[in-house]
Amino acid sequence: MTRQETSYCAPRQMFTADHELYRSSVARFIADRIMPSHSQWEEDGLVPRELWRDAGKAGLLLPGIPDTYGGGGGDFLYSAIVVEEIARALASGVTGFTTHSENVAPYLLEFGSEAQKAEFLPKMATGEVVGSLAMTEPGAGSDLKAIRTSAAQVDGGFCLSGQKTFITNGYHADRVLVFAKTEPAAGARGISLFWVDAKAPGFSRGRLLDKVGQKAQDTAELFFDNVFVPDDMLVGELNAAFGYAMSGLVRERLLIALRCATALEVALEWTVAYVKQRRAFDKALIENQFIRFRLAEIKTHSCATRAFVDSCLVQYLEGTLTTDGAAMAKFWASEATRAIDDLMQFFGGYGYMREYPIARAYTDVRPNRIYGGSSEIMREVIARAL
C-alpha cells in the first residue's frame, strides 16, 4: 500500500510511480526539516526565512510551473501531493508554500507579462523570492468587489493606498500580488492586480496576527501608503482582475478540499490507534459501542469525502471541473472536518493538549471552512447553479 492510500479507501489510480517517488521526497523533507522544529516555530509565530530556500532546493516550491520558468514542470498532481503531505504531517507552518506556489505563481504564469514571468518565477521556485496574495481587507472578505484599496494612475505607474489583513506570508513576502480598485465607480469591473515590491517606500507590515491555530504560519496586516507601482508591475489588463480571481478560485477551492480530505483521514487514523490502546473500566475504548459506532460513521464519511474530492480532482485534470463543482468539493470536505471535534473527544483530556496532534488538528484545520470562500458563500455559489 502506498503512502497516499488508506486501509479503507480505494487505491487512487491517477497517481503514477513518479508521483509516488515525489510524494516520498516531500514527506521526507517535511519529516526531517520541518517537524523537528515546528513546535518552536509555533511559539515564534513564523518559520525561518531560510526554510523557503531549503524547500526550493528540495523541489517543494512551484512544482507545477513549467521548467522553462524554473518550476518543477509537473502536472497538477504534484501540487496536490505537496498540499496533502503538509496536511498529513500537520505542518501548518508551511501552508504558505501553497499560497506562494499555487495561488501567486499561477496568476503570474497565466496573466503576467513575459518579463514578469522570466524575472520572478525562477526566483520563486528557489525560494529567493517569497510571494503573497493580498485580497482580504478589514471590511471586505469573500466579497472582493467591496475592497477599498485603490490605485490611482500617475505618470509612469500607479499610486497604491489601502490596507490588507489576514495575509498569509505577509511577514516574509518579498513581493505581494495586490488587488486594488482602479476604477471605483465600475465595481467588480474596476479592479486591477499589481505585483508590489515589499521594499517600496510606503509599504509596511503590521504585527504578526495571533491566531487560534496555524501558529507557525506567518499571517500579517499590510499597509500601502501612496506606494508607487510602475506600469510594468501591473499584472494582466487594467480593470480585469475580478475575472482573474474568479478563474483562480476553482483551483484554490479544490486544493482546500484535498487538504481537508487528508486531514480528516489522518485524524481518524490517530484516533483509531489511540482508542485501541487506551483502556477505561478494564477494556480498550474501542470496545465501547458508542465510540466504535461513531468511528464507523466517521470512517464512512471520510471515505465518501475522499471519493468525491478525488472525482473532482480527475475532472480538474480533464479540464471539466466547474465553478460550482469546486465549491461543492470545498464545502463538503471542509464541513466534513467537523468530525475532528468528536475524534478529539475520544482522547479525553489529552485531546486538549497541543502536544497531541489531534489538538492541533482541531484548531489548525478549522479555518478551511472560512478561507477560499466561507461555507456560507459556497452554499450561494452552488445554489446559483441549480
- The Cα diameter of the chain in Å comes to 79
**Under 8 Å CB-to-CB from 200, ≥6 apart: which residues?**
227, 228, 229
CA 290 to chain centre: 35
C-alpha cell at 106: 499561477
Class of domain 243-384: mainly alpha
DSSP 8-state assignment for residue 137: B
pLDDT digit string, tens, across residues 128-174: 999 999 999 998 877 788 899 999 999 999 999 999 999 999 999 99
Q: Which neighbouring-strand residues pair with 134?
A: 178
DSSP 8-state assignment for residue 200: S
List the CATH code of the domain at 17-129: 1.10.540.10
Candidates 106, 329, 88, 351; CA nearest to 236 is: 106
pLDDT digit string, tens, across residues 173-230: 999 999 999 999 999 999 999 999 999 999 999 999 999 999 999 999 999 999 999 9
Cα–Cα separations (whole angstroms), residue 145 to 53, 137, 141, 280, 324: 35, 11, 9, 55, 20
- CB-facing half-sphere around the CA of 357: CA atoms within 13 A: 18
Q: How many residues are there in the chain?
A: 386
List the CATH code of the domain at 132-239: 2.40.110.10
At residue 10, the pLDDT reads 75
Residues labelled as active-site residues: 252
Percent of the chain with pLDDT over 90: 91
**Under 8 Å CB-to-CB from 290, ≥6 apart: which residues?**
none
Domain boundaries, the chain: 17-129, 132-239, 243-384
In which band, very low, low, confident or very high, does the pLDDT at 2 lie, cut at 50, 70 and 90? very low
Task: Yes or no: say if 80 and 313 are a contact pair by the CB < 8 Å rule.
Answer: yes
Candidates 350, 254, 263; CA nearest to 308 is: 254
pLDDT digit string, tens, across residues 117-139: 999 999 999 999 999 999 999 98
Which stretches does DSSP call E strand in the chain? 131-134, 150-154, 157-168, 175-181, 191-197, 203-208, 219-230, 234-235, 279-280, 283-284
